[in-house]
Amino acid sequence: MIDLFQESAEAVGTVVKRFVSTADAVSYVKGLAGDASPSASYLPPEIAGAFAGTVFAAPAELADTRLCISFAQAGIARTGSLLLELANPEQRSATALPLIHAVFLRGSSIVSDLYALGEILTRGLTSAKTAYLSITTGPSRTADIERVLTIGVHGPKELHVLVLEGE
Amino acid sequence: MGKAIINKKINDTFLRRALKNFAAAYPVARAKAFEGIDFEALRGRISDFKQAGLKGLPELVSRFKTQAEQTGAKVYVCSSPEEANRTILEIIRSKGADFLVKSKAMTSEEIELNPYLEKNGIRCLETDLGEWIIQLAGERPSHMVMPAIHKNKEEVAELFSKETGHDCPPDIPFLVRTAREALRGGFLTGQVGLSGANVAMADSGAIGIITNEGNGRLVTTLPDTHIALIGVEKIVPSLKEALDVIEVLPKNATGQKITSYVSFIKGPTGAGRELHIVLLDNGRLKLAADPDFSEALKCVKCGACANVCPIYEIVGGHVFGHIYVGGIGLVLTPFFHGFDKAEEILKLCIGCKKCNEACASKIDIEGLIVDLRDRIRKPMGQKFLFGTMMKNRKLFHAALRTAYLAQKPFQGEGGRIRHLPLILNRETANRSLPPIAEKPFRDLVAERPATSDQRPATREKVLFYTGCLADFVYPEMCRDAKESLEKLGYEVVFPQEQTCCGIPARYSGEMDVARDMARINTDVLLAQEADYVATICPTCTMSLKHDFQKLLEGDDVYREKSLRLAAKVFNYSELAARKIGFGSAQPTARSLSGVEGNVVTYHDACHLKRGCGVYEEPRKVLRELAGVEIAEMTDCDKCCGFGGSYSIKYPEISQEVLKNKMENIKATGVSTVAVDCPGCKLQIEGGLEAAGTGITVEHSATLVARKLRQ
């Protein structure tokens, strides 16, 4: 499943890295960030914990950050897609504005195709709360000028997926 | 449609190249995207739940409204563009705002929202790259999914230079970066965001938005107020149906497996935020209840009908459509924008049915276009032509015989017509036409009614329905068909009372005349016992087999008759193919394969392949009975541009479609094109001859007859 996910994701220009240890994944992301402060969208505690000591950009600075770090609830093998739960508008902006988007994904949460995501989507859409569920596949793209595919128009120009395989 | 604008588009070399490249690239990308997916099953499901939804559309709307309001959204159902525009203006004003940032919404084009808001002091900014380009150019989209496909990078560079005040080179990555930087400020300062939606779910009140650029997410995230303008037909019962729409849309639209972003939005997310859902009716609820045309609303707006349309490929969306373009645009325009806006564009369809084959929700787009022609004004003189002349067989055939005499002075070398006088000349500029025959087939048959070796007791009896074109222009084609079917073991009879199948009347919107022709021919072809009715014109086959029963389903006497007739009707190749491998008269044709001169390319007639679903038998007949090999051409099933009277109404378009076909034929290097349609023969042969290619066009029946004579 992870192999197919990687193949599909790379076919649409996503950078896929596979890690056995969360710490290695975190250090890869820190390398992407360089000296600048990254912004963070939602991160589960164990991943957030691994970033102890990192200073994240404040909401007001989102438009100027280079890298955003986030977490996907699930992946789709057939299309190399990620499901992000982004009901919080600040966490959403964080994934939409920067140039680079790095997403943690648990290998075990990858499903086969769009339909296999139905259950988790239904849960999100039928709960009493409001919801913003975003299926993201590859970097932002356009072919609006002469049908020439160009990467990174309004959203991130780079999408990195950190697949966590050791669980 | 004005000839001036048609000619302008035909001569727009950039547009032509862009559309041609797209027409070539799209089917490849689409096929790849659908790999491993059962498209027919998928679109069958979409068609079913969409049609079911339309039956109870008011109820679906009210369920969606209740659910969406429970999530905290405000929902408005607007019956007219005016009401939708006013509602949106009031929402913007209630926020004290004067700046709207927008992601792509065809509904916004439909109600002409931008000019209305600008007039009322609200600045609008389109952030989809294509939409921004056409906003700066002051134009309308020429494609539903790729709105600026008609603009080249030089034009875009000029627009961006003017807008940004910096000199922009015509370099696409540079231009995209310029858009990112120029529009970023808009996202950050826009006070209200407006989007459309690709789907809305009644059980949760959520909406789904499919985008690539990421502007949809910014527009629905950065401003605190989000307005979604959605056509009511986009509502489906639940996520289950929505997933089918999401599965099919990107694949059919641009050949992508999925777009970069698919977002489901349920309610206003976050404190102090607002979500306003403006549901647009604008004729949809009335259309949903229309027994004849409701299926048009099954459309998911993927634009595939434009992507595969041979006419769109020549003239683009500014000619082939109004605000909604492509085949479905022709159908929706009268209902959304009025029949006066649709009158001209409805005539632009050539009837090839390519759109039906690609449609994501299995709409009979071509059939709806033809049926809509019944509701538009008819040209002067048409009533006489169809109402008086066509319904009277003797009068009609007498006119054709007179035409034989009238054309004589214009026949050139080999008896073909190269130049007609005055206004008719344009039509023949790039092709030569065969003359009307001195003796139609019906006269030849009358002179020699009986065939030599009749064994009626053992033979299956076939009634031969030739169609007018073959009868009066290609009598030898009819002779070849009759002779070869006889040699293959059938008894073949030509009923003299047969007349025009009525297609020209139907395509011209004269449905009553078409119905009369259907009744006349049904009676003629049921008057004597027979096993089959054979045709050598696919348009006639389609008409007899499929259209008659539709035309006559409301007629208590003829409904049953038309079904009885339909069961007997087959195209020549189907009947010939049945005899492969039977009887002692079987030629061992394949022994000749590979011999120089025995390779042909095969052109699928639109009405045979898509009108009757027949495309395997003709190839079998050519290989097994005519003894030829087939070198397939690119786009073998794409229209040749004939379309009956279409080639006379729109000769300039017809000729351009033909040019594409001739290019593909020439690329195969063969010297013979096999067809199963006298119309395709007329068109393609005329073009190839006028171009001096030396390539001939033959009906399969002629190739088989020739082989059987050996």
Mutate to test the interface with A, among B127, B131, B180, B221 (most CBs of A within 10 A): B221
User: Would you list the domain boundaries of chain A?
Assistant: 2-164
Give the pLDDT confidence score for residue B584 in this predicted structure: 44
Give the pLDDT confidence score for residue B222 in this predicted structure: 94
d(CA B139, CA B135): 6
Average confidence score pLDDT of chain B: 91
Give the pLDDT confidence score for residue B452 in this predicted structure: 54
Residue B474: burial class (beta carbons within 10 Å; 0-12, 13-18, 19+) = buried
pLDDT at B421 over 60: no
Enclosing H/E stretch for B109: helix B106-110
C-beta atoms of A138 and B263 within 8 A: no
Q: Which of residues 127-146 of B touch A (CB under 8 A)?
A: 127-130, 133, 146
Q: Once rounded to an integer, what is the mean pLDDT over residues B603-610?
A: 97
**Which of B25, B152, B262 lies closest to A135 in CB terms?**
B262
Q: List pLDDT tens digits, range B648-659.
A: 889 999 999 999
Q: List pLDDT tens digits, range A106-134.
A: 999 999 999 999 999 999 998 888 999 99
User: Would you list the domain boundaries of chain B?
Assistant: 69-285, 393-578, 589-709
**Which of A8, A125, A143 lies closest to B239 in CB terms?**
A125
Mutate to test the interface with A, among B102, B261, B263, B307 (most CBs of A within 10 A): B261
**Distance (Å) from the alpha carbon of A78 to chain B's nearest alpha carbon:** 9
Phi-psi region of B627 (alpha: psi -120 to 50; beta: other; left: phi over 0): left
B270 vs B121, residue with greater confidence: B121
C-beta atoms of B264 and A89 within 8 A: no
**Which of A126, A145, A155 lies closest to B172 in CB terms?**
A145
**Which architecture, in CATH terms, is B69-285?**
3-Layer(aba) Sandwich (3.40)
Give the residue on B whose Cα is nearest the Cα of A127.
Answer: B204
B555 vs B382, residue with greater confidence: B555
Complex ipTM: 0.97
C-beta atoms of B246 and A114 within 8 A: yes
C-beta atoms of A96 and B218 within 8 A: yes
Q: List pLDDT tens digits, range B248-294.
A: 999 999 999 999 999 999 999 988 999 999 999 999 999 999 999 99
Chain A contact set for B265 (CB, 8 A): 131-132
- What's the topology of domain A2-164? Rossmann fold (3.40.50)
Residue type, B67: Q
Closest CA to B335 of B282, B279, B298, B274: B282
Confidence of residue B376 (pLDDT cuts 50, 70, 90): confident
3-state secondary structure of B434: coil
C-beta atoms of A154 and B214 within 8 A: yes
pLDDT at B425 over 70: no
d(CA B39, CA B19): 25
Q: List pLDDT tens digits, range B656-706.
A: 999 999 999 999 999 999 999 999 999 999 999 999 999 999 999 999 999
Percent of all residues in chain B with a pLDDT value above 90, rounded to a whole number: 82
H helices of B125-230, in order, are 129-137, 153-164, 172-189, 215-219
Confidence of residue B591 (pLDDT cuts 50, 70, 90): very low
Confidence of residue B453 (pLDDT cuts 50, 70, 90): low
C-beta atoms of B264 and A125 within 8 A: yes
Helix, strand, coil percent content, chain A, rounded in steps of 5: 35, 30, 35
C-beta atoms of A96 and B127 within 8 A: no
C-beta atoms of A146 and B172 within 8 A: yes
Give domain B589-709's CATH number out of 1.10.490, 3.40.50, 3.30.450, 2.60.40: 3.40.50
Could you tell me if A103 and A159 are in contact, meaning their C-beta atoms sit under 8 angstroms apart? yes
Closest CA to B448 of B424, B421, B475: B475
Give the pLDDT confidence score for residue B593 in this predicted structure: 44
**Distance (Å) from the alpha carbon of B175 to chain A's nearest alpha carbon:** 9
Give domain B393-578's CATH number out of 3.40.50.2000, 2.120.10.30, 3.40.710.10, 3.40.50.1860: 3.40.50.1860
Q: List pLDDT tens digits, range A54-111.
A: 899 888 888 889 999 999 999 999 999 999 999 999 999 999 999 999 999 999 999 9
Beta-strand relationship, B599-602 and B629-630: parallel
**Which of A81, A122, A153 lies closest to B129 in CB terms?**
A153
Q: Which of residues 172-191 of B touch A (CB under 8 A)?
A: 172-173, 175-176, 179-180, 183-184, 187-188
Give the pLDDT confidence score for residue B415 in this predicted structure: 65
**Which of A133, A139, A154 lies closest to B218 in CB terms?**
A154
Confidence of residue B412 (pLDDT cuts 50, 70, 90): low
d(CA B564, CA B568): 7
